[in-house]
Amino acid sequence: MPLRFCLRALARLGPCAFAAVILGAAGAALAADQTISADVFMDRLEGGWAGQMIGVSWGAPTEFGWQGSIIPDASVPAWTSATINGGFNQDDIYVEMPFMQAMKDHGVNAGWTDFGNNFRDTTFNLWHANFTGRWNLQNGIAAPTSGHYSHNTCCGDIDWQIESDFAGMVSPGQTSAAINLAWRAGHVMNYGDGVYGGVAVAAMHSAAYFATSVRQIVDAGREAVPTGSQYRQVLDDVVSWHDGGKTWQETWQLLQDKWGTTDRCSSGAGKDFNIDAKLNGGYVVIGLLYGDGDFEQSMRIAMRCG
């Protein structure tokens, strides 16, 4: 079954039932000129979560298979309706659960200590910034120091960027609330560009509830990140190359040439093995802008970035 025809059916399965428990407080202060019915809200929330699971499951077989190169179109995995079940074993998904539980237990203003304690007590598999952050917490280094570069050499990695979706999903049209939440929780395991990546993703999810174009969503993510930061520079570069008429492959090459070896992580520094948040954030924006609103094409392009 083509991927684009699976989304709505998957969304109706209600994979976000847990997240919905905390929505009363998170969605209580919509701006006066922004209203959304409960049915539409849940449909978009579930669609967002299904979309996240689809992306994670579809792209997982390609991870680290193409380093510093574009994935050939013929090598993109075939999608089947059963593929989504692979999402349950992915840290992109399950790491979000202790943070949502912290909000359920302590409210939407849960702080560093609440998020850190819940994350500290998990036992699921972790890597890079997540692994180091949890190790720090378990050894007496509390959040936000647990994510600081002085204690976490992986702090600029993609960890929080791939886990922050829920912060925007529970903040419909409230980008400031999404940014605030992503900023607080993200310092448990990341710092600097590693946190900015999660902030940008959360802001885009939040804006998507009311956006009328993909560009509005992208701009919400860009504007959530401070001007002058390297993460913001990457996003601005991608938008500029897109607006200048470059193909997505040309934009990918320009991105690779300028930012492809800037990973500060000890595993990827100066190499094609790059799990840096800002480079991968550039891939997200490439997929959104060049996919032009087509769900399957957007995901396919982002995946093929490597």
What's the confidence (pLDDT) of residue 266?
Answer: 67
Which pLDDT does position 274 carry in this prediction?
79
More confident residue, 262 or 45: 45
- Is pLDDT at 3 greater than 50 in this prediction? no
Query: What does pTM read for this prediction?
Result: 0.89
Q: Which of 18-32, 128-142, 252-266 has the lowest mean pLDDT?
A: 18-32
If phi > 0 it is left, if psi is from -120 to 50 it is alpha, else beta; for residue 2 that is beta
Please compute the mean of the pLDDT values over residues 152-181 and round it to a whole number: 97
Give pLDDT, residue 123: 97
Which spans in 12-127 are helix H?
Answer: 17-20, 23-26, 38-59, 91-94, 96-106, 112-120
Distance between CA atoms of 286 and 254, rounded to whole angstroms? Answer: 12
65-82 confidence digits (pLDDT tens):
998 899 999 999 999 999
Q: Which of the four pLDDT bands, split at 50, 70 and 90, describes residue 271? A: low
Dihedral in degrees, nearest 10, Cα atoms 231, 270, 245, 175? -20
* Structure confidence at residue 262 (pLDDT): 82
Distance CA 195, CA 206 (A): 17
DSSP 8-state secondary structure symbol assigned to residue 276: B
Q: CA-to-CA distance for 282 and 267, rounded, in angstroms?
A: 20
Q: Is the predicted pLDDT of residue 289 greater than 70, yes or no?
A: yes
Is pLDDT of 29 > 70?
no
* 75-80 contact pairs (CB < 8 A, 24+): 76/300, 76/303, 76/304, 79/1, 79/2, 79/3, 79/6, 80/1
Q: What three-state secondary structure class fits 123?
A: coil
For residue 32, what pLDDT is reported? 54
Q: How far separated are the first and last CA of the chain, in Å rounded?
A: 25
Task: Please say if the pLDDT value at position 23 is more than 50.
Answer: no
Is the pLDDT at 194 greater than 60? The verdict is yes
Mean pLDDT, rounded, of the chain: 89
Confidence check: pLDDT of 17 > 60: no
Residue 9 has pLDDT above 90, yes or no: no
Report CA torsion sign: 36, 38, 44, 49. positive
| pLDDT (mean) for 26-34 | 50
| Amino acid occupying residue 206 | S
Respond yes or no on whether the N-terminal peptide bond of residue 226 is cis (omega within 30° of 0). no
Bridge partners, residue 157, by sequence:
276
Can you give the residue ranges of every domain in the chain? Answer: 3-304
- Just give the CATH number of 3-304: 1.10.4080.10
Percent of the chain residues topping a pLDDT of 70: 87
How confident is residue 275, by pLDDT bands cut at 50, 70 and 90? confident
Cβ within 8 Å of residue 109, ≥6 positions away: none
Residue 26: the pLDDT is 34
Q: CB atoms < 10 A from the CB of 111, how many?
A: 14
Of 261 and 107, more confident = 107
> pLDDT grade, residue 12 (50/70/90)?
very low
* Tens-digit pLDDT profile for residues 207-238: 999 999 999 999 999 999 999 999 999 999 99
d(CA 296, CA 166): 21
Is 167's pLDDT higher than 60? Answer: yes
